[in-house]
Amino acid sequence: MTIIDELGLPGLPEALPRGIVDNHTHTLTTTNYSKLRPADSLELAASVGVTHVVDVGYDVASSRHALALADEFPQVVAAVALHPNDAATIATRDGDEPFEATLAEIESMVPEARAVGETGLDYYRTRDADGKLAQERSFRRHIGWAKEHGKTLVVHDRDAHDDILRVLDDEGAPERVVMHCFSGDADFARACTERGFWLSYPGVVTFGNAEALREAARATPLERVLVETDAPFLTPAPERGKHNAPYLLPHTVRFLADLLDVELAEFCDLVTANTFAAFGGRWGDDA
């Protein structure tokens, strides 16, 4: 019996013909988010062609853990941030002093990280005016850190498309911006790529009710396409509803290659090159 069987996880997909990068996962960062140990998760991912991973922090503890994992595993790089919903919660529940102290702790980790994020705006879970204001304050600070330290900015955008662009335009976007878990339509995709952003497509693009997202993917220049799991969330078809992990990324990769009419090996090479460009260069043993 394999570890997948023991833990009741989805089976291994067919391996990809070329290596590819999961540019956004949380499953390595904390055991609360994964049934697999980091070493096992990375081994399973590598067995199906997912050779590199961006592990994404969302608060102080997970950001520290992401940095520690990047130190331990050469195929991993870390992103550090305070998630917008956490920013809203801390500011409205605990007040300005704890909010500022938390941001200062995140800022202290930025020089060691490959990216700043995920940061941004989330109007799905945070709907009150004070919470939205706290999110924007945090977002602006993260943008500044990314620019100051030459880091990639990883943007969380949920139901906040117009304000995301407003804040980025107002602050001046960093050189490299990744729109994580892209959820806009074709017009928004064009607005983002016209600004030079990369758009990262999750397993949602495989869902039957996601035609608008598929239209966005078709409208995205191939050199701006990235792919992610956002594991343990958003597991792609045919495993939708089950626990997600980096080793399931091939389902989304195959779907997008077919959708965009690109031969699979070529698509893997393209997305890998895009990801290293978006995150400021290669990493791992082959860097």
The answer to the question of whether 118 is labelled as a binding residue is yes
Query: Given strand 198-201, what is the order of strands in its sheet?
Result: 20-25, 50-56, 76-80, 115-122, 152-158, 177-180, 198-201, 225-227
DSSP annotation string for 118-162: EEEEETTT--SHHHHHHHHHHHHHHHHHHHHHTPEEEEEEES-HH
CA distance 113 to 2: 34
Query: Which amino acid does the sequence have at 202?
Result: P
Phi, psi of 124 (to 5 degrees): -80, -50
149 appears as a binding residue in the annotation? no
- List beta partners, residue 22: 53
CA proximity to 154, closest of 41, 76, 54, 222: 54
Give which of 163, 171, 173 is closest to 194, Cα–Cα. Answer: 173
Closest CA to 240 of 203, 214, 200, 209: 203
Q: Please enumerate, by residue number, every residue annotated as part of a binding site.
A: 24, 26, 118, 156, 180, 230
Numbered residues of the known binding site for a divalent metal cation = 24, 26, 118, 156, 180, 230
